């Protein structure tokens, strides 16, 4: 049974404890059951953060960030619902005919089948980057999770590597892994 893990977490406490101005997020799928989840930390308004993560159970999940284009979020969910692949969704979002300012944006899309697509535009605020990775089951070595981490206004690649290490830790379920990834990435900001 496929279920949606909607773990869209806003870690605004990060802003209160420092002068951080970063946005970073993680989106993942548990390949055992198709569960989708995402988490985001940012120092932008909560109304903006609510527009970053979106999911369509059984079809995929998306993160849209960096100079948000609200219709991109909505359209991506429609395209996922229609069965389009992550590559197709990101390709459409990054067409100049769709969005003349696409180089300002960041996207990550995952599917329950384990497909993943990322985009970090050259005009997004530096340091900007993304990282896609898999986590394997320690016993069977089968792919267990497919994950995308991305961010902008970061201090460097260490933030994304922190997200990877946090996600890959001891947690046993998707929501706990997402939280661990945010905590670890936040420690590197």
* Residues spanned by the domain of 76: 13-188
User: In angstroms, what CA-CA distances link 174 with 7, 105, 179?
Assistant: 9, 26, 9
Q: Does the residue 158 lie in any domain? A: yes
User: In angstroms, what CA-CA distances link 62 with 27, 31, 141?
Assistant: 7, 16, 26
Q: Which of 60-69, 130-139, 168-177 has the highest mean pLDDT?
A: 60-69
77 backbone dihedrals φ, ψ, rounded to 5°: -65, -40
Q: Does the residue 173 lie in any domain? A: yes
Q: Does the residue 116 lie in any domain? A: yes
User: In angstroms, what CA-CA distances link 157 with 153, 170, 184?
Assistant: 11, 22, 13
Q: Considering its fold, how many domains does the chain have in total?
A: 1
Q: Which helix (H) or strand (E) holds 36?
A: strand 35-42
Q: Does the residue 134 lie in any domain? A: yes
Q: Does the residue 5 lie in any domain? A: no
Q: Smallest Cα–Cα separation from 64: which of 10, 123, 104?
A: 104
Q: Which residue has the higher pLDDT, 17 or 121?
A: 121
CATH number of the domain that residue 53 is part of: 3.60.20.10
Q: Does the residue 2 lie in any domain? A: no
Q: Which distant-in-sequence residues (6+ apart) come within 8 Å of 55 by Cβ? A: 4, 6, 36, 37, 38, 61, 62, 77
Q: Does the residue 30 lie in any domain? A: yes
Instruction: pLDDT band for 18, please (50, 70, 90 cuts).
Output: very low
pLDDT of residue 91: 98
Question: How many C-beta atoms lie closer than 10 Å to residue 181's C-beta?
Answer: 28
Q: Does the residue 7 lie in any domain? A: no
Percent with pLDDT over 90 in the chain = 53
């Amino acid at each position: 049974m496929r279920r949606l893990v909607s773990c869209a977490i806003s870690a605004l406490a990060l802003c209160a404890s420092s002068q951080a101005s970063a946005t970073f997020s993680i989106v993942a799928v548990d390949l055992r059951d198709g569960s989708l989840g995402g988490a985001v930390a940012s120092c932008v308004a909560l109304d903006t953060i609510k527009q970053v993560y979106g999911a369509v159970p059984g079809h995929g999940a998306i993160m849209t960030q960096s100079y948000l284009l609200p219709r991109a979020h909505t359209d991506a969910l429609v395209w996922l619902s229609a069965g389009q692949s992550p590559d197709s969704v990101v390709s459409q979002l990054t067409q100049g005919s769709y969005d003349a300012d696409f180089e300002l944006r960041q996207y990550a899309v995952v599917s329950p089948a384990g497909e993943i697509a990322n985009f970090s535009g050259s005009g997004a605020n530096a340091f900007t980057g993304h990282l896609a990775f898999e986590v394997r089951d320690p016993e069977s070595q089968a792919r267990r999770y497919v994950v995308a981490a991305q961010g902008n206004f970061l201090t460097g690649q260490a933030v994304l590597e922190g997200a990877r290490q946090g996600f890959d830790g001891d947690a046993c379920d998707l929501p706990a892994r997402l939280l661990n990834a945010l905590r670890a990435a936040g420690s590197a900001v």
